[in-house]
């Protein structure tokens, strides 16, 4: 199979094969329908978001007058939320206008309407923009990406720049591509692989359409009023991207983005990769044995695997999908049986698209290891 | 309205009025149906839990043989999980046999089948057993209940034992009653109020049917295999209760449990309470103004209100329910307008029915304050 490659700014988003869809959903029967449904989700962001806020307004006006009188500034807050939602909607609109995977025109007519889950996937994509491409996300990137980048840097410190550029790193589950981008910035050639069409649309937009730092404003915390200290925290803006994505242009390293299901794209791959980096990825498996075999298969002899992530098995609660959920220790035992030698095993505390201002914090103790194909 | 009172072991669970139901659901049209549905959820715990584990087994046997061969101990793990689920089912069975709110016999026939949400509510009740009545829960109790108990103790340190026993403390959203029990143990009279029938069944069982420490074994972490380090952590047992609930018998303080919706039970209450303690409760409100007015109304002049909790608004995502969601600072401003003077305002980091062995931790920065009715 051919993956589109490109050297600099124009990171090609090629749909490798198989339908591109959200990792939390089984493959839709008709991928055109899925493309149309995702497109509709982006198109309807503005309406869905404003409608949620309108629900708050309606509930407020249904209160007894003496209750409303005790909350004289609440309507003004809702108006401000509306305004900021419009700012978000501008960014979402720009993303969908640059959609590299538009559905055929007639598909939109038959596409199922976006579900609550679709809308939540888009909101999650916006949170991912904060994680990967804002200053606010720096702490998460420092805890989750830095150990991986350090491990790569120290393992290949003996290479010349052109040897580094010939070293091929694969990042499945690449999300919005920041980790892959950092790997390229560190001098390696890197292919990002992603399955979710929401993520692919957003990553293509940031990598190919954003040219200067702080170009867009996003208000990522407007979608839930829970566990928020103050109005300022609720309305807080976030500038995107924190760097110019083109900052990696000019080197010899190649950067590509392959759309599609990891197993389908790399399942029968000859051992042609020097490194595979899995970051918050293993637990997206329905069958983690197959993931580990695929990682083993795609690596060159003595190839390197770096892993960081939790074991939040994505399909555990999905009755329509087969799922295998192992305790962490069993995953490691399995990895050794599949043919890896593990070292530098550690635990790393980190978050995932957290709101640092929130009064509720979800903290992962992620497992980290480096491994060698034996 | 009359609330049943009792002096010691036999903590009466009276359904005050209105249907008793889960705070996450709007009131069912027919409370008998609801009672029957909850009874069915307890009755079916064994089958539902074993069936989830059977899903894992079926998915495992559907794997290619070479994958199964790489996981030689997995079937044995599933067998162990089955055994421990049976241990849990024994406890659940004991609880429902002692149900103080049995549905009429013919209601069971027409009751809707338990939903996934019903099963999750029961699992959440089991986690609550760990929080309130096990050694494992001690850390949560120390962070969430201790500041409240300390505040009570220092505010009423000048009282004689019999004056303390005449001091009436109300704890709405009392869950499984440990905080209320600790308040009685500290010498105050206390009424716990709870809405959820799941909680009422479990709390009645623990308070009235458990006589010695470590009487029952529960394996609380079997229901999800995610974010678990090892088989030992997954299978870990927890002994319940950590104390003999009867340890508070013999004093002058009264302990009672009132079942029903907080607003319905106390909405037109004359100011007859010395203290109201809200712990992880305010955010269960559809209309927090009404909660604050009700707390204000039920207190005697200069009565005390102690609050600790997040603002995880329970009805925010419920489209069928009216909901008002305020940032924390707005809740405090509102409390002052309703007629409270706040002091000792702090933030307290705590968890809620967390699995301390899990690699994923949800940590609340809960708001704490003490207030006086002015």
pLDDT at residue number A19: 28
Longest dimension (CA), chain A: 74
Contact B62 A322 (CB under 8 A): yes
Measured distance CA(B103)–CA(B37) in Å, rounded:
9
Residues in a beta bridge with A277: A306
Contact A327 B228 (CB under 8 A): yes
**How close is the nearest chain B Cα to the Cα of A28, in Å?**
21
Measured distance CA(A160)–CA(A187) in Å, rounded:
10
pLDDT at residue number A16: 39
Secondary structure of chain B in HEC code, one letter for each residue: CCCCCECCCCCCEEECCCCCCCCCCCCCCCHHHHHHHHHHHHHCHHHHHHHHHHHHHHHHHCCCHHHHHCCCCHHHHHHHHHHHHHHHHHHHHHHHHCCCCCCCCCHHHHCCCCCHHHHHHHHHHHHHHHHHHCCCCHHHHHHHCHHHHHHHHHHCCCCCHHHHHHCEEEEECCCCCHHHHHHHHCCCEEEEEECCHHHHHHHHHHHHHCCCCCCEEECCCCCCCCCCCCHHHHHCCEEECCCCHHHHCCCCCCEEEEECCHHHHHCCCCCCEEEEEEECCHHHCCCHHHHHHHHHHHEEEEEEEEEEECCCCCCCCCCCCCCCCCCHHHHHHHHHHHCEEEEEEEEEEECCCCCCCCCEEEEEEEEEEEEEEC
3-state DSSP assignment of residue A189: strand
Measured distance CA(A367)–CA(A348) in Å, rounded:
6
Instruction: Please compute the mean of the pLDDT values over residues A187-197 and round it to a whole number.
Output: 96
pLDDT at residue number A18: 30
Strands B238-240 and B216-218: antiparallel
**How close is the nearest chain A Cα to the Cα of B54, in Å?**
12
Q: Assess contact for B149 and B186: CB atoms under 8 A.
A: yes
pLDDT at residue number B249: 64
Q: Which residues of A, range 58-87, sit inside 8 Å of B by Cβ? A: 59-60, 62-63, 67, 70-71, 73-74
In the predicted structure, residue A81 carries a pLDDT above the cut 80: yes
Of the candidates A183, A90, A125, A147, the one whose C-alpha atom is nearest the C-alpha of residue A350 is A147
Phi, psi of B289 (to 5 degrees): -60, -45
Of the candidates A145, A136, A137, A226, the one whose C-alpha atom is nearest the C-alpha of residue A180 is A145
Share of chain A above pLDDT 70, in %: 91
In the predicted structure, residue A130 carries a pLDDT above the cut 90: yes
Using pLDDT thresholds of 50, 70 and 90, give the confidence band for residue A112. confident
- pLDDT tens per residue, range A232-289: 999 999 999 999 998 886 678 999 999 999 999 999 888 999 999 999 999 999 999 9
Q: Assess contact for A21 and A31: CB atoms under 8 A.
A: yes
374 residues of chain B, pLDDT tens digit each: 223 323 233 455 544 332 222 333 333 444 678 889 999 999 999 999 999 999 999 999 999 999 999 999 999 999 999 999 999 999 999 999 999 988 887 777 777 889 999 999 999 999 999 999 999 999 999 999 999 999 999 999 999 999 999 999 999 999 999 999 999 999 999 999 999 999 999 999 999 999 999 999 999 999 999 999 999 999 999 999 999 998 886 678 999 999 999 999 999 888 999 999 999 999 999 999 999 999 999 999 999 999 999 999 999 988 888 999 999 999 999 999 999 999 999 999 999 999 999 999 999 999 999 999 99
CB pairs under 8 A between A and B: 155
Instruction: Please compute the mean of the pLDDT values over residues A18-32 and round it to a whole number.
Output: 40
pLDDT at residue number B109: 73
Q: Assess contact for A182 and A279: CB atoms under 8 A.
A: no
In the predicted structure, residue A28 carries a pLDDT above the cut 80: no
Q: What six digits make up the tokens of B91?
A: 């406890």
Q: What is the CATH number of domain B13-27+112-373?
A: 3.40.50.150
Q: What is the CATH number of domain A13-27+114-373?
A: 3.40.50.150
Does A363 reach chain B within 8 Å, measured CB to CB?
yes
Distances A332 to B47, B76, B206, B226, B353 between C-alpha atoms, Å: 32, 18, 40, 15, 28
Handedness of CA A67, B280, B124, A26 (dihedral sign): positive
Contact A334 B70 (CB under 8 A): yes
* Other beta carbons less than 10 A from residue B294's beta carbon: 22
Alpha-carbon torsion, ordered A15, A16, A18, A23, to 10 deg: -70
pLDDT at residue number A269: 84
Contact A327 B365 (CB under 8 A): no
Helix axes B116-133, B45-61, angle to 10 degrees: 110
Greater model confidence, A34 or A333: A333
Mean pLDDT of chain A: 91
Q: What six digits make up the tokens of A205?
A: 């937009």
pLDDT at residue number A61: 97
In the predicted structure, residue A195 carries a pLDDT above the cut 70: yes
Which chain B residues have a beta carbon less than 8 Å from that of A365?
A: 359-361
pLDDT at residue number A265: 96
Q: Which residues of B, range 312-351, sit inside 8 Å of A by Cβ? A: 312-313, 316, 319, 322-330, 334, 337-338, 347
Q: Searching chain A, which residue's CA lies closest to the CA of residue B231?
A: A327
Using pLDDT thresholds of 50, 70 and 90, give the confidence band for residue A328. very high
3-state DSSP assignment of residue A305: strand
Using pLDDT thresholds of 50, 70 and 90, give the confidence band for residue A11. low
Which chain B residues have a beta carbon less than 8 Å from that of A364?
A: 227, 359-361
**How close is the nearest chain B Cα to the Cα of A140, in Å?**
15
Greater model confidence, A25 or B19: A25
Q: What six digits make up the tokens of B154?
A: 């220092």
Instruction: Please compute the mean of the pLDDT values over residues A81-88 and round it to a whole number.
Output: 98
Which chain B residues have a beta carbon less than 8 Å from that of A326?
A: 71, 74, 225
Contact A323 B362 (CB under 8 A): no
Q: What six digits make up the tokens of B251?
A: 């004093």
Query: Cβ contacts of residue A297 below 8 Å, gap of 6+?
Result: A266, A267, A268, A269, A271
In the predicted structure, residue A30 carries a pLDDT above the cut 60: no
pLDDT at residue number A40: 92
Which chain B residues have a beta carbon less than 8 Å from that of A313?
A: 225-226
Candidate from B328, B361, B367 with C-beta closest to A363: B361
Contact A70 B324 (CB under 8 A): no
Which ranges of chain A would DSSP assign to H, the alpha helix?
A: 31-43, 45-61, 65-69, 74-97, 107-110, 116-133, 138-144, 146-155, 161-166, 178-185, 197-209, 231-235, 262-266, 288-298, 328-338
Q: Assess contact for A363 and A356: CB atoms under 8 A.
A: no
In the predicted structure, residue A144 carries a pLDDT above the cut 80: yes
pLDDT at residue number A249: 64
Using pLDDT thresholds of 50, 70 and 90, give the confidence band for residue A104. confident
């Amino acid at each position: 199979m051919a993956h589109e490659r490109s050297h600099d700014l124009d990171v090609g988003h090629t749909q490798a094969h198989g339908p591109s869809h959200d990792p939390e959903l089984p493959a839709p029967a008709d991928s055109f329908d899925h493309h149309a449904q995702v497109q509709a989700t982006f198109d309807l962001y503005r309406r869905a978001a404003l409608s949620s806020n309108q629900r708050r307004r309606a509930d407020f006006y249904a209160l007894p007058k003496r209750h409303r009188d005790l909350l004289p500034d609440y309507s003004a807050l809702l108006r401000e939320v509306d305004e900021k939602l419009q700012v978000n909607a501008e960014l979402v609109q720009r993303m969908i206008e640059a959609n590299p995977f538009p559905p055929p025109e007639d598909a939109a007519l038959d596409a199922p309407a976006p579900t609550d889950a679709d809308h939540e996937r888009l909101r999650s994509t916006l949170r991912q923009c904060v994680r990967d491409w804002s200053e606010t996300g720096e702490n998460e990137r420092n805890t989750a990406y830095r150990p991986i980048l350090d491990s790569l840097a120290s393992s290949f410190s003996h290479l010349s720049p052109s040897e580094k550029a010939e070293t091929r790193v694969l990042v499945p589950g690449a999300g919005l591509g920041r980790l892959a981008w950092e790997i390229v910035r560190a001098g390696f050639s890197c292919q990002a692989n992603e399955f979710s069409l929401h993520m692919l649309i957003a990553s293509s937009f940031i990598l190919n359409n954003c040219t200067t730092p702080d170009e867009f404003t996003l208000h990522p915390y407007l979608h839930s009023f829970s566990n928020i200290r103050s109005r300022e925290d609720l309305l807080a803006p976030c500038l995107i991207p924190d760097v110019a994505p083109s900052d990696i242009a000019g080197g010899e390293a190649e950067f590509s983005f392959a759309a599609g299901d990891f197993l389908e794209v790399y399942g029968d791959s000859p051992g042609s990769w020097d490194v595979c980096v899995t970051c918050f990825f293993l637990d997206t498996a329905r069958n983690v044995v197959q993931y580990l075999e695929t990682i083993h298969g795609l690596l060159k002899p003595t190839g390197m695997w770096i892993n960081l992530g939790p074991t939040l098995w994505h399909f555990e609660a999905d009755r329509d999908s087969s799922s295998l959920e192992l305790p962490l220790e069993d995953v490691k035992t399995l990895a050794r049986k599949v043919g890896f030698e593990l070292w530098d095993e550690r635990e790393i505390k980190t978050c995932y698209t957290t709101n640092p201002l929130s009064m509720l914090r979800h903290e992962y103790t992620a497992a980290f290891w480096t491994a060698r194909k034996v």
